[in-house]
Copies of this chain bind each other. A is one copy, B any other.
């Protein structure tokens, strides 16, 4: 039986997907049972990188998601609307859906999976996180025996490229951003990437799968990399760290059997140089998953790009085709569906237990380090090191690294320190892995 695909969007990833579907030799034989039935585009006259019969193209996307001949709708238009409505309409017409749309899935998972479960169709999203890296399917299937403790990754290629260049070339954020924009690694409006919003979408999706519950995106803590400067990268380097934008979802230390609390957050982080994530550079992505009994596994690869993302899209199509090919009697495949319905509880950031790095500009006079140390001690903040790293005229630059402390306590100490006459300002506060 041949399954018919309706493709929405013929941009970079859409084109990569069509290229695989039209050239199946040497790939999985199941691909030969698939046919591209309709392709929805914005304009029929735009020049394209793939040759398609004109009869396949349409600008009427609604027509595709309601076409009774289409079995699988592949949504690659991105953005919130009309993507969300088209996905929902496809589901309501009994189509299976494959999407790379992290923004829609992280915001509307509840609505979309509830509709999909009611209709008995699959919504597959391997391409939404980590580009070509298989991570959604391993989380849903290969790691199912585990209790997941933590998912932690570099899931945004743009910011990783920027931080890598800053690290290697010692230049400041704005300078590298301009280069990244020229190279096409960063958008003209870089907000979604550099402010961590894209990474937040992705960690919300991974957390939902790993911890088996839905996630309110608005509760995910999100801090970007705009404030990272060359001095922090250089001081971190001296201390044995590189700075990476990490997306982290973990079971909170306060979690109990009754109250399963998660901590989900995106923020620049000092990562020890020997840590597996420290050497993930440029636009590469990596996701580290910790669980019991597996320990640590890491998935590494290209986090974006036409080919890798299309590889993930087509793997989802194959998975659906495989179960359609051997028709199931009634129930959906339990390792391919997302049936959890409850929302996870997220712990407030002040309850986070983490190490901190903070840089202070103070008057260069004796006793300052003692004052800082005493104040931290009063707030139960245990210090690993306080080092006067530099002096500029009358001012001293002091870097503090803490042991694991409660974030709320650290913030209270900082509030007090900020009011000290000898303290000029606190330009950097970063978490340490």
B300 adjacent to A27 (CB under 8 Å):
no
Nearest residue, chain B, Cβ from A130: B297
Indicate how many identical chains form the complex: 2
B293 adjacent to A306 (CB under 8 Å):
yes
In the assembled complex, which residues on chain B have CB atoms less than 8 Å from the CB atom of A28? 144-145, 335
B300 adjacent to A294 (CB under 8 Å):
no
In the assembled complex, which residues on chain B have CB atoms less than 8 Å from the CB atom of A293? 16, 19-20, 132, 306-308, 310-311
B335 adjacent to A318 (CB under 8 Å):
yes
Nearest residue, chain B, Cβ from A331: B326
- CB within 8 A of A142: which of B126, B296, B310? B126
Is A208 close to B, CB under 8 A? no
A279-B279, A315-B141, A318-B145 as given contacts; A296 in contact with B302, CB under 8 Å: yes
Chain B CB count within 10 A is highest, among A142, A279, A296, A319, for A142
A137-B137, A144-B28, A292-B307 as given contacts; A326 in contact with B333, CB under 8 Å: yes
Is A314 close to B, CB under 8 A? yes
Nearest residue, chain B, Cβ from A302: B295
Task: Give 1 or 0 for each of A27-67: 1 = CB within 8 Å of chain B CB.
Answer: 11111000000000000000000000000000000000000
In the assembled complex, which residues on chain B have CB atoms less than 8 Å from the CB atom of A297? 132-134, 299-302
A294 adjacent to B314 (CB under 8 Å):
no
A327 adjacent to B325 (CB under 8 Å):
no
- CB within 8 A of A147: which of B26, B146, B276, B294? B26
- A209 shortest CB reach to chain B, Å: 11
- A353 shortest CB reach to chain B, Å: 21
Chain B CB count within 10 A is highest, among A30, A138, A145, A328, for A145
Main secondary structure of the interface of A (DSSP, over half): mixed
B310 adjacent to A145 (CB under 8 Å):
yes
Is A330 close to B, CB under 8 A? yes
Nearest residue, chain B, Cβ from A144: B28
Chain B CB count within 10 A is highest, among A146, A293, A295, A305, for A293
- A430 shortest CB reach to chain B, Å: 24
A296-B302, A300-B298 as given contacts; A329 in contact with B326, CB under 8 Å: yes
- CB within 8 A of A30: which of B26, B144, B292, B308? B144
Nearest residue, chain B, Cβ from A305: B295
A311 adjacent to B27 (CB under 8 Å):
no
- A101 shortest CB reach to chain B, Å: 19
Residues of chain A in range 1-42 having any CB-CB distance to chain B below 8 Å: 16, 19-20, 26-31
- A330 shortest CB reach to chain B, Å: 7
Is A322 close to B, CB under 8 A? yes
B334 adjacent to A325 (CB under 8 Å):
yes
Is A143 close to B, CB under 8 A? yes
- A1 shortest CB reach to chain B, Å: 11
A307 adjacent to B325 (CB under 8 Å):
no
8 A-B pairs with C-beta separation under 8 A = A27-B147, A30-B144, A137-B141, A145-B314, A293-B308, A294-B302, A326-B330, A326-B331
